[in-house]
Amino acid sequence: MKKYIGILLCLIWLPITMAQPDNNVIDEIIATVGDRIITKSDLEYAIEGYKYQSGLFTLENEDELRCAMLEQIIIQKLLIHQAELDSIQITDAQVTERIEYNMRMQIAQMGGNIKKLEEAYGKSLAEIKAESRELVKDEFLMEQMQYKLMQNINITYQEVKEFFDKIPYDSLPIIPIEYELAQIVKTPQIGEAEKIEIKRRLEEIRTRVLRGENFKTFARMYSEDPGSASKGGELGFVNRGDLFTEFELVAFSLKPGEISSVVETPAGFHIIQMIERRGEQINVAHILIKPKPSAEEMMRSKNYLDSIYTVLKTTDMPFDSAARMYSDDPAKINGGMLVNPQTASYAFTEEQLDKSVLYAINNLIQGEFSQVVPMITEDGNQAYRIISIKEKRAAHKANLIDDYEKIKNVALESKKQEAMLKWTKNKIKYTHIKVKPYYQNCNFFEKFGIVGK
């Protein structure tokens, strides 16, 4: 069952593209944990979720997966049971926030079409949200209980070494090529004439909406926000702090149906329509138009970076010093180092790099830097940059010297799993648990001392 060790304990919010349990089928209770029940449909839903997430729709040993899933659900129920005994409190606001986030993600899966989501569930959006409250509360209880159990678990260098030494050499993973990169960025300035023209266009749209025309129609036609334009500019419920400060200051001051004047943020210029507010959450629609630099400004920025490139080529100026002095990138304080958003580290595999970056550094060796290349910033603006390879590590078998942090993370996770297993065994001693004998071939009967009935 080791292959399923990495299964997430939380299996509540699975993609709605999976088949949903048939409510017309008579369900069966297959296990009880304290006063909580586990039904056959709970187990089947978890199995389908694992298949969907792993992409393995046919398995060699489905009985093994069934046992692993049931074991995980039992552990979920134990965590919830303990969280309730420990009086862990989850607020209504936390639950509402998580539900709204989950709904936004699932609606996005449906191409922004709420009706498709409702058809998939066979319920209205309001009903889906209402019926999910207990599930989401349980999700929070599990998370908080897991955190409480694991927060003080640390690992020493000796423990990492012992963990690594137990791995057979033939089983050591191959670490792919990794890069550490830095950049110097120059963002073209936007002319005042361009800003004035965009403000004029947005004010004209605002005037037409105030006269009775449809805001969402204009958003679909003119908004340059790829995430919301197709949905009529609607963002869905977001919390205070999720958006640009300039945007929020105006948005939170609006009344339902009210439309703002033009608002400038780092992303561009907006007009905002309030749809609904719930305390510190708002649902608004907006129309975004991004100012474009002129051809002259684009050329000026490129020429500027070309001169920096020449300086780097013809002098001994370190790349990180040039980044601190000349880059428009906020990361210039760290010498322009790029941070991998997936790992929060400086290391990138080739699969984690944008194709344009790979193309720019193709044929470069460690310590070299690219010529000036175009880019799109995180705010969606046009810019230019020079990219330097600070470090390039060849593909290799994992070892403690080059890959200590990776191995440490795996070893720490293994230690936490062992602690969870120990806690589970102890918890079961004092919790009334019964499982249908049909599952008696599952190894958790013996492992945990669970009683069949």
Q: What percent of the chain has pLDDT over 70?
A: 91
| Residues 6+ positions from 289 with CB-CB distance below 8 Å | 198, 201, 202, 222, 223, 224, 268, 269, 270
Q: Top-level CATH class of 175-189+294-397? A: alpha beta
Looking up tokens 């009985």, which residue turns up? 63
* Averaged pLDDT for residues 254-277: 94
How far is Cα 43 from Cα 325, in angstroms, rounded to an integer?
A: 59
* CA-only gyration radius of the chain, Å: 27
Contact (CB, 8 A) for 258 and 214 = no
pLDDT band of 19, cuts 50, 70, 90: very low
Return the residue matching tokens 């000026």: 300
Domain spans in the chain, listed from the N-terminal domain onward: 2-156+408-452, 175-189+294-397, 192-289
The predicted pLDDT at position 433 comes to 87
Q: In the prediction, which pLDDT does 48 show?
A: 81
Q: Which fold has domain 192-289?
A: Chitinase A; domain 3 (3.10.50)
Neighbouring C-beta atoms of residue 2, cutoff 10 Å? 6
DSSP letters spanning 213-259? --HHHHHHHH---TTTGGGTTEEEEEETTSS-HHHHHHHTTPPTT-B
Domains 175-189+294-397 and 192-289 share a fold: yes
SS3 (DSSP) at 72: helix
More confident residue, 46 or 26: 46
What whole-number distance in Å separates Cα of residue 395 and Cα of residue 399? 12
The mean pLDDT of the chain is 87
Q: What is the pTM of this model?
A: 0.65
* Strand ranges (E), 296-441: 347-349, 373-376, 382-393, 396-397, 433-435
Superfamily of domain 2-156+408-452: Porin chaperone SurA, peptide-binding domain (1.10.4030.10)
What confidence tens digit (pLDDT) does each residue in 340-369 have?
988 888 999 999 999 999 999 999 999 999
Give just the sign of the alpha carbon dihedral 102, 105, 108, 112. positive
Q: Please count the other Cβ atoms lying within 10 Å of the Cβ belonging to residue 411.
A: 19
Please compute the mean of the pLDDT values over residues 187-208 and round it to a whole number: 94
**pLDDT for 110 beyond 80:** no
Buried b (16+ CB within 10 A) or exposed e, 134-171: eebbbbbbbbbbbeeebeeeebeeeebeebbeeeeeee
Q: Tokens representing 333?
A: 């304080």
